Structure 1
Amino acid sequence: MADILHKVKGVVLRTSKYGETSVIVTLYTDKLGLQSYLVNGVRSGGKRSGNKAVFFQPAALLDLVVYHNELRTLNRIREFKFSAIYQHLFSDVLKNGVALFMIELLHKTLRQPESNEDLFAFMEDSLLALDEAEVTVTANFPVFFAVHLCSILGFSPGSPSPDLLTSSQLLLDLQSGEFMEKAPAHSYYADREAALLITELLQARLPAELKSMKLSSHKRNIVLDLMEIYYSLHLPEFGKLRTLPVLRAILS
């Protein structure tokens, strides 16, 4: 099967060194889904390579022309450039920490190369909004992203009825994704306070709405821990998020 050229947009998920001057970059693209590419000569430091490695930092948004062959697990990139240039995301410690959490969470949910343009658009819009966000929105962004990503992927918690919302016994069963009053037989559930926070986050449609949410670092950590459990219950081999302890530290 011959290689076919495609114009795609991509977000960098991971970059690893290959040989003396090359890298293998994993991207999530709008048209080809999850893909890996070998990029030669970006780490040589010579005049021809310039500083091309900066294009392949995790969370970078790129316009690319790529060679694609479905029989290969590693393809090549013909052309690349930034599709958006961040003003703060790479230099601001808090924003970068949040972005790396988002990138890891997305990467751990992807198992197949199939494209999902809605998912790509959500990721792109989220990163651009994070870059421009003020401090309160930035701090609340991880919980917003974690709650809405599972919605895009099709396993979001359901919506509680008005009666349940006012119940003092409200719980969220993390296994079934259902809100209820009676505690399940297992221990994977969120108490009333956390269930209400998750409901509020689900109802927020835009990151700008996070400005009015006054969440303490303690409450954010509770929701993040619960969402990690939620993802692990619904996605086999999800495991633990390596960026979560770092995120907790910079948000405290």
Structure 2
Amino acid sequence: MLYKTRGIALSYIRYRESSIIAKIYTESFGIQTYIVNGVRSPKSKTNKIAFFQPLTLLDLVVYHKSKEDTIHRLSELKCYAPFRSIPFDIIKSSLALFVTEILGKTLREEESNEPLFQFLQEAILYLDHAEVHFENFHIHFLSQLASYLGFGIETVEDLENELRGNNYPQTADMVEQGAVRELLTSGFGSVITLDRGRRLRILEKLIFFYKIHMDGLGEIRSMEVLKEILR
């Protein structure tokens, strides 16, 4: 059957001569994998491969069969909110790469989760539209995403206690604690003053916290890019 749904492009691999296999987080079906035919054909009049760049927001018409089918097919697609800045700003594109890697490793449910989809859409649109004060976006995103994944951080004290209980070697100073407290309670765009060292320490703590709750999270390779880009 054919269904309409919105989706967020995460990644793709080449398949045969002109097709791809794309991983997309959908509003109606959760994380799904689709075969997309003809997007890499030199005869194509449109650059459809651009629709599958990280975090692109898509309107989709998809074929879905039984639960046993792990790969489905796309019938139609279009971008419903073309990016203004993410592909053209090195900091934003690096942040988008990080978010994409995190989502690829943490989104596992093959069912609708509308609040999570709305949160992701809001975060992506904020990053694309923001002109200033988005240097903490990635740690803000991680602190909020955990709630939608089922292991939300209630207070900074709870976070520190759990890290300590799992032998994390560092304890936050007062500035870090205040920053995390604001990250947990504020929306995107709030101004939180952090130097590069503290921002990195908070990021490493949050990644460690995710690893406590999610088996197989593994190395987050895009962190190395962020360490170089964000000052």
Using structure 2 for the length normalisation, give the TM-score. Answer: 0.92
- Match of residue 237 from structure 1: 216
Identity among equivalent pairs (%):
37
Closer, same or farther: CA 250–24 of 1 in aligned 2, 3 Å: same
Task: Please say if residues 17 and 24 of structure 1, whose CA atoms lie closer than 8 Å, have aligned partners that are also in contact.
Answer: yes
Q: 2 CA distance for matches of 1:154 and 1:99?
A: 23
Is residue 150 of structure 1 aligned with residue 146 of structure 2? Answer: yes
Post-superposition shift, 1:218? Answer: 1.3
Q: Distance in 2 between matches of 1:225 and 1:72?
A: 37
Partner of 1:167: none
Whether 1:226 and 2:205 are equivalent positions in the alignment is yes
Query: What is the aligned partner in structure 2 of residue 109 from structure 1?
Result: 106
Count matched residues.
229
Over aligned residues, Cα RMSD in angstroms? 1.9
TM-score where L is the length of structure 1: 0.85
Please tell me the residue identity of whatever aligns with 1:203.
Answer: T
> Is the alpha carbon distance of 1:43 and 1:201 closer, same or farther for their aligned partners in structure 2, counting shifts above 3 Å?
same
Matches within 5 A, 1:144-183: 144-159=140-155, 172-175=160-163
Equivalent position to 2:69, from 72, 90, 97: 72
Which structure has the bigger radius of gyration? 1
Q: 1:11-160 counterparts in 2 under 5 A?
A: 11-46=8-43, 48-69=44-65, 70-136=67-133, 138-159=134-155
Q: Is the 8 A contact 2:179 2:192 kept in 1?
A: no
**Runs of 4+ more than 4 Å apart:** none
| CA pair 78-171 structure 1, distance change in 2 beyond 3 A | closer
Q: Contact 2:8/2:55 (CA < 8 Å) preserved in 1?
A: yes
Specify every segment of 5 or more residues in structure 2 that has no aligned partner in the other structure, as ranges: none
Relative to structure 1, the CA distance from residue 85 to residue 228 in structure 2 (aligned partners, 3 Å threshold; closer, same or farther) is: same
Contact 1:228 1:240 in 2 (8 A): no
How far apart are the structure 1 equivalents of 2:79 and 2:159?
Answer: 44
Aligned-pair CA distance for 1:189? 5.9
Change (3 A) 1:200 1:124: same
Does the 8 A contact of 2:62 with 2:74 survive in 1? yes
